[in-house]
Every structure is written in C-alpha cells, then in structure tokens.
Amino acid sequence: MLLQQLDQHPIRAISAADVEPFGDAVAEYRRLQLLRFRRAPDDLDLSFVTVSEHGDAVIESGAHDGSRWLDVNFRAVGLQIRRSSQLAGPPLEKLSDKVIHLGQFADDPHRRVFYFVRLLTDANAIELAISLKGRAGSASPVILTPTARHLGLDVTRRITLEGVTIAAASELLDDEATLPLALVLAPVGMSAELPPDALEISEHGFTARYHRKMLKLEPRDFRVLLELAREAGTDGGFVPGEDLLTALAEGKVHDALPQGEQVTGSVSRLRNALGSAAGLERAAAQKLIQNDRKGGYRLAIEPGKIFLA
C-alpha cells in the first residue's frame, strides 16, 4: 500500500482506518518516519467564509469527521530501502521530488548504482535513464520504481540499449527479512544483457552490431539497414524500394549504378554482413532480408531483438 501511494501524483495519504489492522507495523513505520500523521485540523481549518446578500462576510464553522490521515515520506522510504537492502557508498541524496540516489553494494564487481524513481512514464523514462546513466559514470544504473511500470516496447528497448535496468520495488520485497522494505537486489541488473542474437543500432553513432559483432558497413548501407530496422522493430512490414533509395541518396557518396540496382546492391551487402556476423551459410543469410514482388524489403529479425538508440 505504501509503495502504491508513491506512484500517485501527488503522493496520496493513507487513511488511519485502512492501516489499523497493521497496528504494530504502522507503529514501526511511524518510528522510522516512513509514515507521519497529518496535523489534526483546528477551528481555523474547519472555518469558511461566505458573503451575505447584503455583502457582509460571514464566518461559519464546519464539523470534523474524525478521520486521521498518514502521509508517506518519500525520502524516508528511500533511506529505509538503502539500510534494509545493505546499500553503501555516498550518503543518500534526493535529486528531485521523483528521484533518489540510493547507493550501491560495497565491492560489487558489476558496479551497479541504484536509484529510486517514482512516476516513471513513457514520456520521461528515456530522458531520465540517459541522465542517470551520465550521472553513474562507468557504473551500471539500476532504476527501482515503487510499483511495476508498463512502458512501451520502443521505450523499453531504448533504455535496455542504454544499459539501464528498471525493476519494481514492490516485486523485490524480501518476505523473510526482519527489517521493513528490505529488497532482494543481488540479482537485479545481472541479466540486463541484450539477447546474444540482438541487432543493436546506434543511429547517432552510425554503428551496428549483430550477434555481438560489429558490422562493417558503408554509410549508405547503414542508412538502409536503419530504415529496415525501424520498420521491423514496429510494424514488421516491408519497406518500399523508393524509401530505401531515398536513404541511399542521403549519403555523401553517390552510386553510378541505375537506381534499382543501387538498392539491390545495398541489400546484398547487408545480407552478407548480417550473415557473416551470425555465422550463417549464404542461403540462410539471404533470408535475413526478404523481398516482395513490389520491390519492397523486410528485415526478418524479431522486433524484440532489435534495439535502436
């Protein structure tokens, strides 16, 4: 319940009546300042002003319904996760009202650094992931969200390609721990590697890797691969030959061959490069890029194995 409230905007208070069955736990959470009672309303809070028909201000009093509410302390929750999960390093730092730097494991060979992030969405996830990656330096950032965030496939792929892991704290709670909010973090970020047969393309870096091997491509062929990958990673359809020809024309080196043969030649080079990286025979490599009767081409790689950045 506490973690669910953190993924609301604004952070919602918890009714004292709702947590009454958890008396001992609530007392402990209050002691740790994870939960704090709101100030009881006084006469001023319950008063309101109306204007009479003669224009006079009239002060009236309302009635308090007796409800008590507990506010969730975001920073205190992050601090408790750090303590209970045995994270170390520089002191906990609240970077914003949505992001807390938790710390890392001492002597972690995988060099992971953990952040606690609320309200992660498709709209802010990529920018935030890149920002935290830059802040982490040579370490591997791990974003812990209070609850599971169902991000779009394209967003998830981009974040994975950036080397950032996202995990939900609500799914990592250690049921056997005696301390509140202890998370099982040891395996998190350990299996964040891309599939061994992934196609990784850096649009701005003009690099591509397949089966973890760098593809040696001319700039014009890279542009064709990029067009094919964009389509295969979303709709999975065929890219018209005219679109691929446009991609070729964006290169600085112009081919003297007829336009149709330019596309055919580029696709042939891409098939060879992809097939070589995957260790395929020529016949199998030909199937990596399919063509139709209309002159279109399709990259025959599963969408979940294509990563664009």
Going by pLDDT thresholds of 50, 70 and 90, the confidence category of residue 62 is very low
Considering its fold, how many domains does the chain have in total?
Answer: 3
Quote the domain boundaries for residue 148.
Answer: 74-171
- Judge if 203 and 303 occupy the same domain: yes
User: pLDDT category, 50, cuts 50, 70, 90?
Assistant: low
Task: Tell me if 272 is assigned to some domain.
Answer: yes
pTM, two decimal places: 0.58
Confidence of residue 26 (pLDDT cuts 50, 70, 90): confident
End residue of a domain, out of 72, 90, 122: 72
Q: Any idea what the CATH number is for the domain that residue 285 is in?
A: 1.10.10.10
Residue 194 lies in a domain: no
**Which of 13-27, 138-152, 189-203, 211-225 is predicted least confidently?**
189-203
**Within 13 A of 235's CA, how many CA atoms are on the CB side?**
7
260's tokens = 């149709």
**Is the pLDDT score of 253 beyond 60?**
no
Whether 57 is covered by a domain: the verdict is yes
* Domain co-membership, 65 together with 14: yes
Output the six-digit token pair for 230: 């964009």
Which sign, positive or negative, has the C-alpha torsion 96, 99, 102, 103?
A: negative
Per-residue confidence (pLDDT) for residue 189, from 0 to 100: 83
Average pLDDT, the chain: 85
Element holding 290 (H helix, E strand): strand 289-291
Closest among 139, 191, 142, 147 to 172, alpha carbons compared: 147
CATH classification at residue 98: 3.40.1350
In-domain check, residue 188: no
* Alpha-helical regions (H) of 85-237: 125-136, 153-161, 219-232
Same-domain pairing of 299 and 204: yes
Question: What is the token pair recorded at 171?
Answer: 């799914």
Q: What is the pLDDT of residues 96-109, one digit of tens each?
A: 999 999 999 886 75
pLDDT of residue 269: 94
Assess whether 42 and 13 both reside in one domain: yes
Residues 203 and 236 in one domain: yes
Residue 46 lies in a domain: yes
Q: Which residues contact 293 (CB under 8 A, 6 or more apart)?
A: none
Residues 67 and 80 in one domain: no
Query: Are residues 118 and 136 located together in one domain of the fold?
Result: yes
Domain identity same for 65 and 86: no
Greatest distance between any 2 Cα atoms in the chain: 94
- Three-state SS for 129? helix
The DSSP bridge pattern shows strands 93-94 and 69-72 to be unpaired
pLDDT at position 44: 44
pLDDT in tens, 130-177: 999 999 988 889 999 999 999 999 999 899 888 899 999 999 999 888
